[in-house]
Structure 1
């Protein structure tokens, strides 16, 4: 089995003070994709190159204390790709891809941090630009290889994916345009004749748990008593090509210890790297 975890750390230094490294050691994932590292190479050197024996591969933001992603892996990749070729967003440290290629298989594990538009209209417009250019990148990738994209997508796709959906319909993360983008990402032409140009990726959590609501959340605002009252959002995903998604056997959202404002999402796949 291949155990893969995704977690927005909201700062690697903060998360490690809250015990995330011991948790990784105890749960033993093959890879953990992390977002919002909020550190640069100099901060990582000598302390965070490895976590619990897993080797880290990073894409840092140019801006200090901002964004940044990594994949920590127990397996040596055949290639590491940082950034996806964006003139605007690669400087923000949002994409790292580990390729595990063999003569019979091409597989990528990706950690990605989608922009948030919650700070205002300028960032919401940046988020729309990211979505517009990222979809063709994923389409090109899907045409050549299998992949699992893990990350904080900053979009709750459906009404069942957040507690207060009615009052959030005009808020970033649940805007109609964002939700339509997710629908397009997941649409399959073989199942829906109106989805001929859909990308056909699979929301792996929903494949395994199609009906869960309150237990599906992975993010809670730090305002008020959101976490205590489970007023949450499902923002963290495994998005996989169909053949790889079909190998998913179990999922788990870990909430016993709070390492950040997000919870780790783990999926086990019936495959070996």
Structure 2
């Protein structure tokens, strides 16, 4: 058994170089993270490894378009194997899906860092988002078959339920809260009509954040830079840990590292940090 739980942190950094200029390094140094999943890296691998330092083993899948998207996994020990392919061969998922297997004292965990498209209702951007969610829905059962302890983390750009968005009424026709998008999450983890939708009534995956916090608003993980959204906690819960049932059962702590004040933020997203006692 590991001497301590495996701590997995996920955050959309909104550009890793800008995040470090604003103070991400101080957060990381104090947080004792074992596996760090990043989205919207928007930098080269050299930039990423230079900022994180030599103590981190870094896997990076940049986007096809330079300066866009980009996902990464950094860990205190090397990954045993990693994979980046998602969906059919002609589907460009570069910079949006990165899997890796890690060993911890005889136990193993598979971690996926993913960045789902933001989309835009009634445009080709939304079609591309649905293509990605289709590929994700196809991959999840195979991932669960591959590893008993697996977790998909990252900016999934969908608020599943009304509890996940403060102003849900004003966003019913906007990307991120469209019925068609939310239906994917019903299939991933089960729907509100299920007796226990957080137990994995759909494909068997568990929304760790909702299970841990229960029927409460939030806790949100993204707030617009504009206006008073952060100060008023008018946010969205769009950063997830979706875990297999056995891994979800091992959770001993879950937190959203919300900055103490607006001027202390180093991204428009807050890190989601979970301890897994595997």
Deviation at 1:259, TM superposition (A): 1.4
Q: Distance in 2 between matches of 1:89 and 1:152?
A: 20
Q: Does 1:168 align with 2:171?
A: yes
Q: Distance in 1 between matches of 2:200 and 2:27?
A: 43
What TM-score comes out, normalization by structure 1 length?
0.89
Aligned to 2:211: 207
Deviation at 1:87, TM superposition (A): 3.3
Q: What is the SS of the residue equivalent to 1:232?
A: coil
Q: Distance in 2 between matches of 1:52 and 1:231?
A: 38
Aligned to 1:265: 272
Q: Distance in 1 between matches of 2:229 and 2:113?
A: 26
Distance change (3 Å), C-alpha of 1:89 and 1:254: farther
Q: What is the SS of the residue equivalent to 2:146?
A: coil
Root-mean-square deviation over aligned CA pairs: 2.6
Q: Distance in 2 between matches of 1:84 and 1:128?
A: 13
Contact 1:21 1:52 survives alignment (8 Å)? no
Q: Distance in 2 between matches of 1:212 and 1:182?
A: 18
- Cα deviations across residues 54-104 of structure 1 (Å, max 9, x unaligned)? 222111112111000011101221112123254355453111111125897
Deviation at 1:196, TM superposition (A): 11
Contact 2:9 2:273 survives alignment (8 Å)? yes
Q: What is the SS of the residue equivalent to 2:109?
A: strand
Contact 2:200 2:206 survives alignment (8 Å)? no
Aligned to 1:26: 30
Q: What is the SS of the residue equivalent to 1:129?
A: helix
Contact 2:254 2:274 survives alignment (8 Å)? yes
What TM-score comes out, normalization by structure 2 length?
0.87
Which 5+ residue runs of structure 2 have no aligned equivalent?
Answer: none
Q: Distance in 2 between matches of 1:102 and 1:258?
A: 32
Contact 2:57 2:75 survives alignment (8 Å)? yes
Aligned to 1:121: 123
Aligned to 1:75: 77
Q: What is the SS of the residue equivalent to 1:251?
A: strand
Q: Distance in 2 between matches of 1:118 and 1:5?
A: 28
Which 5+ residue runs of structure 1 have no aligned equivalent?
Answer: none
- Cα deviations across residues 142-191 of structure 1 (Å, max 9, x unaligned)? 12213111100000000011111111111100000111110110029x96
Contact 1:83 1:94 survives alignment (8 Å)? no
Structure 2 matches for 1:236-251, cutoff 5 A?
Answer: 236-251=239-254
Aligned to 1:132: 134
Aligned to 2:58: 56
Contact 2:14 2:40 survives alignment (8 Å)? yes
Pairs aligned (count): 266
Q: Distance in 2 between matches of 1:246 and 1:138?
A: 18
